[in-house]
């Protein structure tokens, strides 16, 4: 498979020349001169539409980006992903998170346990101990669609305040502690589990690939986590146990089904209609050819308030790499800085910078069709970013230059199935960008040094 530098691809050089024409072009003029643009630059995926008409790009841009994907061997890499090949080369591991939702058989042990916990009502509170992907994905799902049948809480921080708050008012006999750690050695998670045990909590379930360590700790039951599934891709695995307890197993099955639909869309749709691939291509265009260094995620739905934090890990831990698959230091940008918050609160926070700052980010605006007010605000912000204000009678401090690229992901409604669709969409976007940048999206060696230094410091203190 292709592991050459993208800078060596003929399409990259064509894109560099083509980008010069778009640096001077204005979205206001593009839309005025081509009213059909807003209908033509729209792609559909199950349950949603992707409107990229406000991107600083045109038909030729997309053709050249598609050529780049072809030269990078996108189809071969995609086939390798779904075949479970060892594309995580630095750890010599397959990448199998898509297989976890391919059939319900893969998730049935976890779902059976979640159903038992909900039906027996032995436990009134569940406390999930995990960090990174063992926390962010399940926390997002539980926060979005928790039905209140169980009090499900999450602890990721080794700061004792978070654990104290999660256990406040809890009764040990009716509290279940779920410890999620693939290695069962994650410092924050094991420290919190040890603290909970010291406080008298004794009902533990572990989700890990290190069964022996979990049993030695005292876990009453152990659910396996495959070595081939990275933490940030693990919400589909037994790591989703607490989320399944929070939203119910029927809703979790819908969540899995939504992701499965996007897997099919990503596999079968041509590039020009393939929503995650289009998101990836346009992201590379913005970062590498237009020099945009940050990306805002603005969900217009309270259910999605934790999505930006989830995507920060998914995108920046996956693609925040400075060495390519051949071990070469890259001399081009990779993942942008990802940030965001709920849409309308964002409008009263950092959106000032998006509208008038001299170095604005690109943006994804997610319209979950919650109500007319939120949808109106989502569209208005996209239009304001793209087209600005042309009234020259306004004082300079009131003018908005526009020409700031954004895309709208529009859902017909928003259910657990749609959340599965949305997360899988971003997973495949990240994978595609990793192919284009020739980087391994499935390791995270950059986090290791800090952990090692912290352990040395702690040993020195001890």
CB 23 within 8 A of CB 290: yes
Helix (H) or strand (E) holding 14: helix 10-24
Distance CA 252, CA 117 (A): 14
DSSP-derived letter for residue 323 is B
Residue with tokens 């203190």: 461
CB 107 within 8 A of CB 251: no
- By DSSP bridging, strand 221-224 and strand 204-208 are parallel
Nearest Cα neighbor of 235 from 259, 263, 264 is: 259
Burial readout 169-195 (b: 16 or more C-beta within 10 A, e: otherwise): ebeeeebbbbbbbbebebebbbebbeb
Give the active site residues: 317, 348, 451
Q: In what order do the strands lie in the sheet with 125-129?
A: 151-155, 125-129, 175-180, 204-208, 221-224
- Four-CA torsion 249, 251, 252, 254, nearest 10 degrees: 130
- By DSSP bridging, strand 204-208 and strand 175-180 are parallel
Helical ranges in 230-361 per DSSP H:
241-247, 249-268, 275-284, 307-311, 318-319, 343-347, 351-356
- Quick one: the chain helix, strand, coil %, rounded to 5? 55, 15, 35
Helix (H) or strand (E) holding 128: strand 125-129
Q: Which residues contact 399 (CB under 8 A, 6 or more apart)?
A: 388, 389, 391, 392
Torsion angles phi and psi, residue 161, rounded to 5: -60, -40
Q: Which residues contact 269 (CB under 8 A, 6 or more apart)?
A: 45, 275, 277
Cα-based distances in Å from 224 to 21, 135, 187, 240, 348: 53, 17, 19, 12, 44
Helix (H) or strand (E) holding 380: helix 372-387
Cα-based distances in Å from 433 to 1, 24, 42, 108, 220: 15, 26, 20, 32, 41
Burial readout 245-265 (b: 16 or more C-beta within 10 A, e: otherwise): bbbbbebbbbbbbbbbbbbeb
């Amino acid at each position: 498979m292709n592991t050459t530098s993208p800078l060596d691809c003929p399409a990259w050089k064509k894109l560099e020349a083509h980008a010069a024409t778009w640096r001077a072009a204005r979205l206001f003029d593009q839309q005025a001169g081509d009213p059909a643009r807003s209908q033509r630059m729209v792609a559909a995926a199950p349950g949603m539409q992707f409107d990229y008409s406000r991107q600083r790009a045109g038909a030729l841009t997309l053709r050249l980006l598609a050529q780049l994907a072809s030269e990078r061997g996108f189809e071969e890499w995609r086939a390798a992903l779904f075949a479970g090949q060892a594309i995580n080369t630095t750890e010599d591991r397959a990448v199998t998170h898509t297989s976890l939702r391919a059939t319900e058989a893969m998730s049935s042990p976890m779902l059976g346990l979640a159903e038992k916990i909900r039906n027996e009502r032995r436990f009134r509170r569940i406390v999930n101990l995990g960090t990174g992907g063992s926390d962010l994905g399940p926390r997002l799902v539980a926060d979005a669609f928790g039905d209140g049948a169980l009090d499900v809480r999450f602890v990721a921080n080794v700061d004792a305040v978070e654990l104290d708050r999660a256990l406040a008012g809890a009764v040990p006999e009716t509290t279940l502690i779920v410890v999620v750690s693939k290695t069962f050695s994650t410092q924050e998670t094991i420290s919190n589990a040890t603290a909970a045990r010291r406080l008298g909590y004794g009902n533990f379930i572990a989700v890990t690939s290190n069964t022996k360590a979990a049993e030695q700790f005292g876990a009453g039951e152990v659910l396996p986590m495959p070595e081939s599934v990275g933490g940030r891709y693990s919400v589909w695995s037994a790591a989703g146990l607490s989320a399944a307890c929070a939203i119910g197993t029927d809703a979790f099955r819908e969540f899995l089904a939504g992701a499965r639909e996007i897997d099919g869309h990503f596999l079968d749709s041509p590039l020009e209609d393939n929503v995650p691939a289009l998101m990836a291509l346009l992201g590379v265009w913005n970062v590498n050819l237009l020099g945009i260094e940050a990306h805002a995620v603005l969900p217009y739905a309270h259910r999605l308030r934790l999505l930006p934090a989830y995507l920060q890990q998914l995108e920046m831990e996956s693609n925040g790499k400075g060495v390519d698959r051949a071990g070469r230091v890259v001399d081009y940008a990779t993942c942008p800085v990802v940030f965001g918050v709920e849409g309308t609160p964002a409008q009263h926070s950092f959106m000032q910078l998006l509208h008038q700052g001299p170095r604005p980010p690109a943006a994804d605006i997610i319209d979950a069709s919650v109500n007319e007010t939120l949808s109106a605000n989502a569209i208005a912000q996209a239009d304001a970013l793209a087209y600005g204000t042309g009234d020259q009678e306004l004082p300079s401090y009131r003018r908005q230059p526009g020409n700031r690229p954004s895309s709208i992901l529009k859902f017909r409604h928003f259910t657990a199935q749609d959340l599965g669709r949305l997360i899988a969409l971003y997973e495949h976007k990240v994978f595609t960008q990793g192919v284009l940048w020739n980087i391994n999206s499935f390791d995270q060696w950059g986090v290791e040094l800090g952990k090692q230094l912290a352990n040395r410091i702690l040993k020195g203190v001890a």
